[in-house]
Structure 1
Amino acid sequence: MQKISGAGEFQHALPSHYADQLVTESLSVGTYSIPVGGVDDQQPHREDEIYVVTTGRATLVTPSRTELIGPGDVLFVPAEEPHRFVDITEDLALLVFFAPPYTGRHANLTHPDDAS
């Protein structure tokens, strides 16, 4: 068992901020923060993603749908689907669960497609 303190708490940084809280062989957990006026510059991921909105309000845009989001909302984004948070009207903090673990921000992890 492991308790993850501070997960889902907003961190002010422009244009956005991502912090890992847990990385295992099967999943990873982090907090993604975007302040009012910030920019979500992420690219599609190779991992499935679940977002849990802990604070803030914004709009999530995907090719198939646009959804207003707020505290308590849970969002699933499948691997490779382009998505972006826009119109951030309140500082946004999201718990992010990746499966398999997100390798894009982890220097010590590799993905088979990253071999060079």
Structure 2
Amino acid sequence: MEIVDAGRFLPAPDGTARYVEQLRVPALSVGTYSIPAGAVDDQEPHAEDEIYVVLSGRGTFSAGGRTIDAVPGRTLFVPAGEDHRFHDVTEDLTVLVFFAPAYTGRP
């Protein structure tokens, strides 16, 4: 068993979005993504499947030609290689992120 104490989820000190990995094993990795209100999510597609669980905040999420509200409790699946991003963040977002297999970077 692993106990992950992530502490308080905060954006980077300069107010930009920040991803922090809390756990990594070969089959998956888990982290938090913090996006301040008004910040830009400049991520590009990943080589891994990805699940987002919105913990707090509000914004919009686009992927696969669809756009939906990113609100607490919303769970989103993005297959490997698909273009996706959060935008129009009106309240600081904190998102739990799962990658499978473990995150290796951009393809």
Q: Deviations over 1:42-80 (max 9, x none)?
A: 010010000010111110012420001111111100100
TM-score (norm 2): 0.91
Any conservation in 2 of the 1:52–1:94 contact (CA below 8 Å)?
yes
Letter in 1 for 2:3: K
Note the C-alpha offset of 1:29.
Answer: 0.3
Is 1:30–2:31 an aligned residue pair?
yes
RMSD: 1.6
The number of residue pairs the alignment matches comes to: 105
Which structure has the larger Rg over C-alpha atoms? 1
Note the C-alpha offset of 1:12.
Answer: 2.5
SS at match of 1:5: coil
Q: Deviations over 1:78-111 (max 9, x none)?
A: 1000001000010001000000110129xxxxxx
Is 1:91–2:92 an aligned residue pair?
yes
Structure 2 residues not aligned, in runs of 5+: none
Aligned to 2:2: 2
Note the C-alpha offset of 1:3.
Answer: 1.2
Any conservation in 1 of the 2:19–2:34 contact (CA below 8 Å)?
yes
Any conservation in 1 of the 2:53–2:97 contact (CA below 8 Å)?
yes
Q: 4+ residue runs of structure 1 moved beyond 3 angstroms? A: none
Any conservation in 2 of the 1:10–1:91 contact (CA below 8 Å)?
no
d(CA) in 1 for partners of 2:9, 2:87: 17
Instruction: Choose between structure 1 and 2: higher strand proportion.
Output: 2
d(CA) in 2 for partners of 1:68, 1:60: 6
Structure 1 residues not aligned, in runs of 5+: 106-112
d(CA) in 2 for partners of 1:18, 1:45: 14
